[in-house]
């Protein structure tokens, strides 16, 4: 009985206003889920220095960049809800995942894959932007996110109303299939190429679909809480991150200056002189000092944003534990309901 009460409580939650970010346009639009980016940090720590990867900072960037993309997507006005979610949402009407291939202050390279609920690939592309070292044009890599948003929105606005409805329906059915596989296992099938075929559709107003939809809405509410946490984090640390990128750019300029100085082969001294040997040593020293200064700044960045990021991560972890436990409960309840509803009437005369 208590389970029923808890389910009712959960269902009440869906009546609360959602904190997700929606387009103002009321015409049919699909929703997008952007997963926190994959920081793509190599497993082998021995390559970090060579690739100039600062793992903790890359992890923070993987949380920050999706918000720039979300804002770009909202600005196109081509989508309904645009959410940032902690993990890729394969059941989303349109799911966007991205890996950070390079992020060094001057260049941002992202591998972006956008897939709809039918398994259709909208985009599988590497986007790149480089800041002009002299003029610092495009200093915040906005161009990358605008191009992604442009590509995705051009696909979205070509959708007919029927396409939008179909994606929404399949999205719910895929979710329902996950949460109640016995009830929805035979509605959809996955083809060899990863696309989804609809085998049959539920009856209009099928109560099981409605329940799955409501459970999903509940999960969205939780996701929106997580999303709000990301928004707060973005507001708090994006300025520090800008500062880090600015330092990193400065550092690369120093390195270029070191290279220029090292390139002056003729220092005017005899090769056997102390001055010449000292110069060989100093050139290496300047280069290492520049690199080590960058290491020091990376530590300063982590010192400053670390507590905020860790607090958010702890909050996400708590919510994920809650969702996982509830998910198991919803699964059990929906399957039990399905069994009750599918049970043949004992006397074959229908329920009273």
Partner 1 sequence: MPASNTRTTLLLISLTFCVGLCGCAAPRMPPPPEPELPPGELMRANLAGSWERDYARDDDVNTTLQRAYNLLAKTVSDQRLGNPSRTGMSPRQASALVALARLAELITRPDVLTISQTDYEISVSRKDDFSMLCQFFDSGPKSTNSPYGRETCAWQGRDLVSVLRLPEGLKVVHQFTLSDDEERMRVVTTVSSPISPVPFTLRRFYRKFDRLPPEYNCIETLSMKRVCSTGDLEL
Residues at the site binding partner 1, with contacts judged by CB under 8 A: 44-46, 49-50, 239-240, 243-244, 247, 258-259, 262, 270-274, 276-278, 280-281, 283-285, 287-289, 291-292, 296-297, 299-301, 303-304, 307
Strand 94-103 relative to strand 107-116, pairing:
antiparallel
Gap between the Cα atoms of 138 and 107, Å rounded? 11
Q: How far is the CB of 11 from partner 1 (least distance, A)?
A: 40
Q: Considering the complex, state which of residue 4 and residue 274 has its C-beta at the smaller distance from partner 1.
A: 274
Q: How far is the CB of 278 from partner 1 (least distance, A)?
A: 6
Q: How far is the CB of 64 from partner 1 (least distance, A)?
A: 14
Q: Considering the complex, state which of residue 185 and residue 307 has its C-beta at the smaller distance from partner 1.
A: 307
Question: What are the phi and psi torsion angles at 141 (to 5°)?
Answer: 60, 20
CA nearest to 67, candidates 231, 311, 213, 185: 231
Q: Considering the complex, state which of residue 6 and residue 279 has its C-beta at the smaller distance from partner 1.
A: 279
Q: How far is the CB of 82 from partner 1 (least distance, A)?
A: 29
| E strand or H helix at 129 | strand 121-130
DSSP string, 221-280: HHHHHHHHHHHHHHHHHHHHHHHHHHHHHHHHHHHHHHHHHHH----SS-TTSHHHHHHH
Q: Considering the complex, state which of residue 111 and residue 261 has its C-beta at the smaller distance from partner 1.
A: 261
DSSP label of 63: H
Q: Is residue 89 a contact partner of residue 95, using CB atoms and an 8 Å limit?
A: yes
Q: How far is the CB of 296 from partner 1 (least distance, A)?
A: 7
Q: Is residue 171 a contact partner of residue 120, using CB atoms and an 8 Å limit?
A: no
Q: How far is the CB of 280 from partner 1 (least distance, A)?
A: 5
CA nearest to 22, candidates 68, 75, 82: 82
Gap between the Cα atoms of 120 and 9, Å rounded? 36
Q: How far is the CB of 310 from partner 1 (least distance, A)?
A: 12
Q: Considering the complex, state which of residue 182 and residue 278 has its C-beta at the smaller distance from partner 1.
A: 278
Q: Considering the complex, state which of residue 126 and residue 277 has its C-beta at the smaller distance from partner 1.
A: 277
Q: Considering the complex, state which of residue 133 and residue 288 has its C-beta at the smaller distance from partner 1.
A: 288
């Amino acid at each position: 009985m208590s389970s029923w009460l808890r389910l009712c409580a959960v269902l009440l939650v869906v009546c609360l206003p959602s904190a997700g970010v929606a387009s103002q346009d009321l015409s049919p639009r699909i929703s997008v889920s952007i997963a926190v980016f994959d920081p793509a940090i190599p497993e082998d720590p021995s390559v970090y220095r060579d690739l100039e990867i600062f793992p903790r900072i890359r992890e923070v960037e993987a949380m920050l960049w999706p918000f720039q993309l979300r804002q770009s997507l909202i600005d196109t006005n081509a989508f309904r809800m645009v959410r940032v979610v902690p993990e890729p949402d394969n059941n989303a009407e349109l799911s966007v995942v991205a890996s950070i291939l390079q992020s060094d202050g001057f260049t941002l390279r992202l591998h972006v894959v956008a897939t709809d609920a039918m398994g259709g690939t909208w985009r599988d592309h590497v986007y790149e932007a480089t800041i002009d070292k002299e003029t610092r044009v495009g200093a915040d890599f906005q161009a990358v996110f605008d191009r992604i948003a442009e590509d995705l929105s051009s696909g979205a606005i070509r959708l007919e109303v029927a396409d939008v409805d179909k994606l929404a329906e399949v999205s719910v059915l895929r979710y329902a299939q996950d949460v109640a596989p016995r009830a929805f296992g035979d509605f959809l099938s996955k083809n060899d190429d990863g696309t989804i075929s609809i085998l049959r559709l539920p009856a209009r107003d099928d109560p099981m679909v409605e329940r799955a939809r409501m459970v999903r809405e509940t999960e969205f509410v939780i996701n929106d809480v997580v999303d709000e946490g990301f928004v707060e984090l973005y507001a708090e640390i994006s300025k520090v991150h800008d500062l880090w990128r600015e330092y990193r750019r400065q550092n690369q300029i120093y390195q270029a200056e070191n290279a220029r100085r090292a390139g002056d082969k003729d220092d005017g001294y005899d090769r056997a002189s102390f001055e010449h040997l000292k110069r060989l040593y100093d050139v290496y020293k300047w280069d290492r000092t520049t690199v080590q200064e960058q290491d020091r700044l990376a530590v300063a960045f982590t010192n400053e944003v670390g507590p905020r990021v860790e607090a958010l991560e702890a909050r996400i972890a708590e919510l994920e534990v809650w969702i996982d436990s509830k998910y198991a409960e919803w699964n059990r309840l929906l399957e039990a309901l399905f069994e009750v509803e599918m049970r043949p009437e004992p006397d074959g005369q229908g329920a009273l």
